[in-house]
């Protein structure tokens, strides 16, 4: 047994850590054998010196094993999930989980809260009246068995060593470490007992990774480590240089989900991402024999209403209403003030500071500015015009939903400052960059 400071010294001096040393570090995270200062120092050593693939696999597996690891012996379906590195307006999980479950998979999705400028899947679900995002593990497993899908918040039972390390990384400027990001994501996903994982790695000015080289490095790291840990994994790099879909904000994104699943409106970029991820999940889960078969299954799940029905069943089983999909606003709170944001001049939308729009949602109260803060689920933006669209002066760029007039006006100004209009059309970034 080494003292914590000796383990820190090894990585500080760029030594490769063996399995026993990594196990001791993770045990110290779980039982307090490493103080916060020592865990922060270790995170900084990893941030600067990195981990090789085997070290990252071992760290991931040890953090997975620090808590409950789910098994699905009584579920006769492939256990499939998806994870996104986060962005603005990213409500893909909801429609995707429902579609893939309707095609015959079991989808046990363990989701997160909002972080920084990115919204949280668990927070969005809590927009729905009475929705219980934290059932017991036994209830979670039963929901997946009975309905095929359940989306919950991370519990204290799952990868507790990661939960502690993540909190320490958040306040020690060590979040942007590819090995630590990889281990953090995958320790939770592997704890869910998955057969197949599809990663949505976002790239752009609204993503954690701003450039394609960093996004590619993260995607390769996740695929290599997850595969090394025994989970069949594909990563898809997708665009986050503009809001995904036409809404950003908790309840507004749930309303867009209902519109998408019922076919009222499907934003083309959002639909492209959902279909790409769904096809990957079905093919790698051996529920579709090829891309054409997967495409037909996705289309059938949407056109027949099976995906919408599956989502409604999940909402009701998790203590929400029985008819959310049909009448979403009957079961969610609407903002006090709804105001159009209009174009100050005619022109094409040439650039969007997507992160700034995410931060404007946070400023409205739709995200947290400090840990544990209560959020206002009703606020945000909708009717968001996409990149390259031409607007006449005075036409609507987006609509703000706010608690009061002052906050609405601040959000209007923030939104206008986050976009650039020009006289020439600009080609938007591709929606899908790479498959890894």
Provide the annotated active-site residues.
81-84, 121, 169, 184, 188-189
315: how many CB neighbours lie within 10 A of its CB?
24
CA distances from 361 to 57, 318, 400 (A): 36, 27, 9
Q: What is the CA radius of gyration of the chain?
A: 22
Which residue, 380, 396, 267, 266, is CA-closest to 334?
Answer: 380
């Amino acid at each position: 047994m080494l003292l914590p400071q000796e383990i820190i010294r090894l990585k500080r001096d760029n030594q490769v850590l063996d399995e026993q040393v990594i196990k001791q570090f993770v045990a110290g995270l779980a039982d307090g054998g490493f103080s916060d200062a020592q865990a922060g120092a270790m995170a900084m050593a990893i941030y600067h010196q990195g981990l090789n693939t085997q070290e990252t696999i071992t760290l991931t597996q040890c953090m997975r094993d620090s808590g409950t690891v789910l098994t699905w012996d009584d579920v006769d379906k492939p256990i499939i999930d998806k994870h996104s590195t986060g962005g603005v307006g990213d409500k893909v999980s909801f429609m995707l989980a429902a579609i893939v479950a309707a095609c015959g998979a079991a989808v046990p999705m363990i989701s997160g809260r909002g972080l920084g400028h990115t919204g949280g899947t668990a927070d969005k679900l809590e927009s729905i009246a009475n929705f219980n995002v934290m059932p017991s593990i036994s209830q979670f497993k039963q929901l997946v068995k009975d309905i095929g899908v359940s989306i919950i918040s991370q519990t204290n039972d799952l990868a507790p060593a990661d939960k502690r390390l993540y909190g320490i990384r958040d306040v020690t400027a060590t979040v942007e470490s590819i090995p630590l990001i990889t281990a953090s994501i995958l320790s939770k996903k592997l704890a869910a007992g998955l057969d197949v994982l599809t990663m949505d790695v976002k790239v752009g000015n609204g993503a954690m990774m701003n450039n394609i080289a960093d996004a590619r490095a993260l995607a390769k790291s996740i695929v290599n480590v997850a595969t090394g840990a025994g989970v069949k994994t594909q990563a898809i790099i997708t665009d986050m240089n503009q809001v995904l879909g036409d809404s950003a904000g908790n309840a507004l994104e749930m309303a867009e989900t209902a519109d998408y699943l019922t076919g009222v409106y499907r934003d083309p970029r959002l639909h492209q991402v959902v279909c790409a991820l769904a096809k990957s999940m079905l093919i790698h889960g051996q529920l579709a024999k090829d891309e054409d078969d997967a495409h037909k299954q996705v289309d059938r799940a949407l056109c027949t209403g099976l995906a919408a029905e599956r989502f409604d069943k999940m909402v009701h089983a998790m203590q929400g209403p029985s008819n959310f999909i049909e009448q979403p606003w009957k079961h969610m709170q609407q903002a006090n003030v709804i105001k159009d944001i209009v174009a100050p001049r005619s022109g094409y939308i040439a650039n969007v500071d997507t992160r700034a729009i995410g931060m404007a949602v946070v400023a409205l109260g739709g995200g947290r500015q400090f840990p544990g803060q209560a959020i206002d689920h009703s606020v945000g933006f909708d009717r968001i015009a996409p990149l390259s669209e031409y607007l006449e002066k005075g036409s609507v760029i987006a609509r703000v939903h706010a608690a009061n007039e002052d906050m609405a006006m601040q959000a209007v100004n923030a939104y206008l400052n986050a976009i650039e209009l020009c006289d020439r059309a600009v080609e938007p970034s591709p929606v899908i960059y790479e498959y890894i």
